[in-house]
Structure 1
Amino acid sequence: MSETITVDAVRRATAPPALGALGLFTVLLAAALPLVDFFIVNVALPTMGADLHASEAVLELVVAGYGVAYAVLLVLGGRLGDLFGRRRLFLGGMAAFGLTSLACGLAPGPWSLVAARVAQGAAAAAMLPQVLATIQSATRGARRARAMSLYGATAGLAMVAGQILGGVLVAADIAGSGWRAVFLVNVPVVVLGLILAVRVVPETRSQHPEPVDGLGTVLLGLSLLALLAPLAEGEATGWPLWTWLSLAAFPFAAAAFWLVERRADRAGRTPLVPPSLLELVSLRRGLVLIVPFAVAFSGFMFVIALALQEGARLGPVPAGLALAPMAVAFLFTSLAGPRLIGRYGTRVVSAGSVVQVVGVLLIALAVRHGWPHLDVVALVPGMAVAGAGQALQLPNIMRIVLSEVPPARAGVGGGVMVTAQQSALALGVATLGTLFLALVPHLGMRDALLVTLLAQVGGIAVTGLLGLRLPRAVGELP
C-alpha cells in the first residue's frame, strides 16, 4: 500500500497542470477584454470628444496610447510570467486592468483619460500573454488544438463585438454615464474573472526561468514607439517635424534591437525575443500571415465606424449593429474551423481570404449604390460573408504560429505573436485610417470609403497568397 501511495504521489507531483473547461472559459474571458477595449472606443469617440471638449489629436491618443503601451510591453509581460508564474501575473494584470478601466470611466478630463488608457494598455500587456502561455503549458494534444481554435475565435469575435457593444452602451446612457459605460462595464467582468481564476486557473511557469532582458526591452519599446506613435498621431497633428524624425529613427532602432538580441542569443544569454525562436518555420510564417490580416481588419473597423456615423448619419447603435452579421457569421464559422482544417488543411486560410474579399466587395457595392442614405440591411450580406472569411483565417493562423513553440517558452512565444497582432492592429488604424481621413476632403466620404475598402482587399489578398506557401497540414509544419 505504501509503495502504491508513493508512486501515486510521484505521479501527481510530476504530472503537468491541467486546464479544465471552466479554467479555459476564464482565460478566454480575459483574452477578450483587451481586444474588446481596443475597438469599443471607436463608436464612442464622437460622444467622448463632445463631452470632454477634446481635439481630434487627443482622441487619437485615447486610441493610440492604449494600443502602443499594449504592444510595447507584451513580450515583457510574457517573460515576467515565465519568470514569476503565469497565474500570478494573470491575476495581477487582470486586477490592474479592472482598476485602470475604472480610472478611464471616471476620468475628469481628456488628458487624465489618455493617461488612464496608457496604464490600461500596460495592464493588458501583463495579463494577456499568460492566457496563451497557460493554454500551451496546461493542455495537450487535441485539447490544446481545440483550446487554440477557441482562443482564435474569441479574439476575432471580441474585436467585432467590442464595436457593437460600444454603440449599445453609448446609446443606452446607463444612469447618465454616456461614453463612460464602455470602460466601466469592464469592472464587474474583471471581478467575476478574478473570482474564477483564483479557483480554476493552474499555476505554470518555465522550469528554467530566464532573467529579464533590460536592454532588449528598451530597444523593442523604442522601435515600436518610433513606428506607431507618428503614424497614429501624424494626421491629427498635421505631420510636424517630430513625426518624420521618429519614422526615420525606426529602422535604426529596429536594427539595434535585432543585433543586441542576436548577440545575446549567440552568447548563451536569454534575449527578450530569441532569434532562435524565429527559426521555427511555423512561427515565422504565421507571423507573416497575421500582420496583413490584422492591418486590414483594424483599418476597416475604424473607418466603417467613422463613415457610418459621420457620413451616413447613423447613430451609435445602428453603426454598431451594422457589424452584428459579421459577429454571428464569425462565431458559427469558427466553430466549424477545426473540422475544416482537419479535412482540408491549411488551404482553409487562403480560402478564407477569398471569402473575405467577396464580403468586402459586397460591402463596397452596398456603399456605392446606397450612399448617403445607407440602409443597414443592405450591408448584411457583405458583413456576413466577410465575417465567415475572417473566421476561416484568424483562429487557424494563431494555431499555426504557436504549433511548435515549446511549453518552456510559451510566454515568450505568446508575447511575440500578440505583439505582432497588436502592432498590426495599431498600424491598420494608423495607415488605413490616415488614408481615409486624408481622402475625405478631396473625394468625399463615400469615395474615400470605397478607396479604403479596396486597400483592405489588397491586405486580405496578401494574406491569401502567403497562405498558399504553408504545408497542407499543421502537423506537417517543419
Structure 2
Amino acid sequence: MTKNQGTPPGQGPVSPQPASTPSADTAPGLTIALVVVLTGYALSIVDASIVNVALSSINDDLHGGPAALELVVSGYGLTFALGLVLGGRLGDAFGRRRLYAYGLAAFTATSALCGLAPTIEFLVTARLLQGAAAAMLVPQVLATIQAATEGQARARAIGMYGATAALGMVTGQVLGGMLVSLDVAGIGWRSVFAINVPIGLAALLAVRRVPPTKADAKPRFDPMGTVLFGVTMVCILAVVVAGPDLGWPRWLWSLLAVAAAAAAALVRVERALEARGGSPLLSPSVLSDPGMRRGLAAMVPFSAGFGAFLFVYALVAQGHFGLHGLASGGVLTPFAAAFFVVTLFTPRIAAALGRRIVTLGALVQALGLLLLALTVGLGWPHPSLVLVLFGIGLFGVGAALTGPTLFRTILADVPPAQAGMGSGVLVTSQQMATALGATVGGTLYVSLAGALSTVSAAVFVLALLVCFAVTVLMISLKLPDPG
C-alpha cells in the first residue's frame, strides 16, 4: 500500500508517513494489511447471517418469541445500514486505521456480550450495538484500499474485497449450522458469537500493519445532513424490514412519503452547504460523477438480485427439499468456488475488456439464472442436481465478473480525502439493495407459492432475477472504464 494520506490532486503535498508504514512496493506489507482489514469485514458480513440457524436454539434458551427473534436478526442490519455513511465520514476526519481499530474492538466486545446474553432483551441490545460497531469499521476497509493503493494493486485488493463480501454471505449460514451442530464446549448457540472474539483480537494485534490514511483537512460536522439522512434511512428500513411481518399496512407505506420528503430536503441542504465551501455528509459533486452515479445504478439491481437469490434459495432448499445448515450451504459450494477463482483473474480480464467485463458478467449471470429456471421448471419435483450446481456456478462466475468491477468503477474518481464517504455510500447502497431484494423476492415467493405452487413461485422469482441481470447489462453499456 502506498503512503497516500488522502490529499486530492492539486490540493497540496502529501504528508510524510512514519518509516514503519507499509509500502505499495512491499508485497508482504500489502498482503498483511489487506488480510487485517478484510478479516474485520468478513466478520461483519458473516454475522449478518450466521445467527439465522441458531434462532430456534436461542428461543428455547431465552424464550424470546417471534418478534424478539426478528429483532435479533434485523436489529443488526438496521444499525449497520444506518451508520455506514457517518462511519466513513468519521474515518476521513479522524483516520481510517483508527476508526477501523475502534470499530473492530467494539465489534469484538459486543460479540462477547451477545454470547454472554442472559436474556433476550440483552441479546437484542447487544446486536444493535454490534451493528453500530460494524458500521464504524466496514467503511474504512474500502476507504483504506482506495486511498492507499493504485493500479493493479487496487484492482486485486478490491477483487478480494468483493470475494470476501460474497463468500461471507454464503458461508455465514454454513458456519452457523456447523457451530450449533458441534455444540462447541457445550455452549450451544452462543458459539456463533463467541467465535468472533479470538479472530477479532488477532486482527487487533496486527492492526498497526494497516497504513494510516485520512483527509489532510478535517471535514466539519454536518448536523442537518446527518439528521435528514438518518430520517430517510430509518423510514426506508422500517418498510423493508417490518413490512413482511406486519402485513404491509397502509400507515407503513406512508413512511416512504416521509423518506422522499427527507431525501429531497437532504439534496437541497447538501448542495447549499457545498456551495458555501462546507463539508456535506454526502458530497453532491462526488455523487454526481458519472462513474459513481451509473455504477450505483447498476449496483442496486445487482445486489438486489443477489439478496433475493440467497433468500429464496434458502426457502426452497429448506422448505421444500428439507435441507438445513451444512447441506443447504453445501449446494452453494459451486457459487463460492467459482466466485473465488474468477476473482483472482478479474483484474486481468478488466484490463483487457474495460467496462465490457460488467456486460459479460451480467450476461453470464442471466444465463445461469435461465438455466436454473428451466431446470427447476421442467424437472420439478426432482430437478437435475448437476444442472442446478452448474447454474449456481454460472451465477457465481457472473457475480465475480460484475461485483468487484462495479466497486472499482464507483470509487474510481472519488478523491482520496473523501474515500470514507464514498465507500460508506457504496456499502449502504449495497446493503439496502440486498435487504430490499431479499424482502421483495421472499414476499413474492411466499405469495405465489400459496396462490399457485412452489415450482411456479420459484420459476417466477428466477425470471425476475434474470430481468435484474438484464438491467445491469443495459446500464453497463454506458459505464466508464473502471479506474
Work out whether the TM-score is over 0.5.
Answer: yes
The aligned residue for residue 112 of structure 2 is 102
Q: Is the contact between residue 167 and residue 319 of structure 1 (CA under 8 Å) also seen in structure 2?
A: no
Q: Pairwise mapping of residues 325-404 of structure 1 onto structure 2 (< 5 A)? A: 325-369=334-378, 371-372=380-381, 379-404=388-413
1:222 alignment partner AA: V
Q: 1:169 to 1:111 in 2, by over 3 A?
A: same
Q: Pairwise mapping of residues 107-126 of structure 1 onto structure 2 (< 5 A)? A: 107-126=117-136
Identical columns (%): 46
Separation in 2, partners of 1:57, 1:460: 34
Q: Is the contact between residue 48 and residue 179 of structure 1 (CA under 8 Å) also seen in structure 2?
A: yes
Separation in 2, partners of 1:182, 1:286: 35
Separation in 1, partners of 2:326, 2:431: 26
Q: CA deviation at 1:106?
A: 3.0
Tell me the C-alpha RMSD between the 2 structures: 2.4
The aligned residue for residue 482 of structure 2 is 474
Q: Is the contact between residue 22 and residue 30 of structure 2 (CA under 8 Å) also seen in structure 1?
A: no
Q: CA deviation at 1:370?
A: 5.2
1:41 alignment partner AA: V
Q: Pairwise mapping of residues 27-426 of structure 1 onto structure 2 (< 5 A)? A: 27-45=37-55, 47-49=57-59, 52-198=62-208, 200-369=209-378, 371-372=380-381, 379-426=388-435
| TM-score normalised over the length of structure 1 | 0.90
- Unaligned 5+ segments in structure 1 are 1-9
Separation in 1, partners of 2:162, 2:357: 14
Q: CA offsets, 1:333-391, max 9 Å, x none? A: 11111111111111111111111122222333343355555676553111111111110
Separation in 2, partners of 1:134, 1:432: 34
Q: 1:176 to 1:243 in 2, by over 3 A?
A: farther
Separation in 1, partners of 2:431, 2:176: 20
Q: CA offsets, 1:210-249, max 9 Å, x none? A: 1221221121111011012122111212234542232232
- Unaligned 5+ segments in structure 2 are 1-14, 24-28
Separation in 2, partners of 1:187, 1:400: 35
Q: CA offsets, 1:170-215, max 9 Å, x none? A: 33332344443332221221111111113x1122211001122122
Q: 1:149 to 1:317 in 2, by over 3 A?
A: closer
326-335 or 365-374: bigger deviation: 365-374
Q: CA deviation at 1:13?
A: 6.5
Q: 1:153 to 1:317 in 2, by over 3 A?
A: closer
Q: CA deviation at 1:159?
A: 2.1
Bigger helix share: 1
Q: CA deviation at 1:107?
A: 3.0
323-332 or 11-20: bigger deviation: 11-20
354-363 or 337-346: bigger deviation: 354-363
Establish whether residue 452 from structure 1 lines up as the match of residue 452 from structure 2.
no
Q: CA deviation at 1:441?
A: 2.4
Q: CA offsets, 1:394-447, max 9 Å, x none? A: 011001111111111111111111111111122122222222233332234333
Separation in 1, partners of 2:386, 2:114: 34
The aligned residue for residue 21 of structure 1 is 31
Q: Is the contact between residue 84 and residue 427 of structure 2 (CA under 8 Å) also seen in structure 1?
A: yes
Aligned residues: 464
SS of the aligned residue for 1:399 comes to: helix
Separation in 1, partners of 2:414, 2:52: 34
Q: 1:20 to 1:383 in 2, by over 3 A?
A: same
Q: Is the contact between residue 148 and residue 399 of structure 1 (CA under 8 Å) also seen in structure 2?
A: yes
Separation in 2, partners of 1:275, 1:352: 30
1:84 alignment partner AA: F
SS of the aligned residue for 1:205 comes to: coil
Q: CA deviation at 1:93?
A: 0.2
Q: Is the contact between residue 68 and residue 426 of structure 1 (CA under 8 Å) also seen in structure 2?
A: no
Separation in 1, partners of 2:446, 2:60: 19
Q: CA deviation at 1:251?
A: 0.8
Q: Is the contact between residue 329 and residue 384 of structure 1 (CA under 8 Å) also seen in structure 2?
A: yes
Separation in 2, partners of 1:12, 1:214: 32
Q: Is the contact between residue 79 and residue 131 of structure 2 (CA under 8 Å) also seen in structure 1?
A: yes
1:302 alignment partner AA: F
1:125 alignment partner AA: A
The aligned residue for residue 5 of structure 1 is none
1:295 alignment partner AA: A
Q: CA offsets, 1:289-313, max 9 Å, x none? A: 1111111101211221122112211
Q: CA offsets, 1:450-475, max 9 Å, x none? A: 2222222221221111111123x324
Q: 1:86 to 1:11 in 2, by over 3 A?
A: closer
Q: Is the contact between residue 59 and residue 65 of structure 2 (CA under 8 Å) also seen in structure 1?
A: yes
Q: CA offsets, 1:89-123, max 9 Å, x none? A: 11110011112222223334444333222211110
| TM-score normalised over the length of structure 2 | 0.89
Separation in 1, partners of 2:240, 2:152: 41
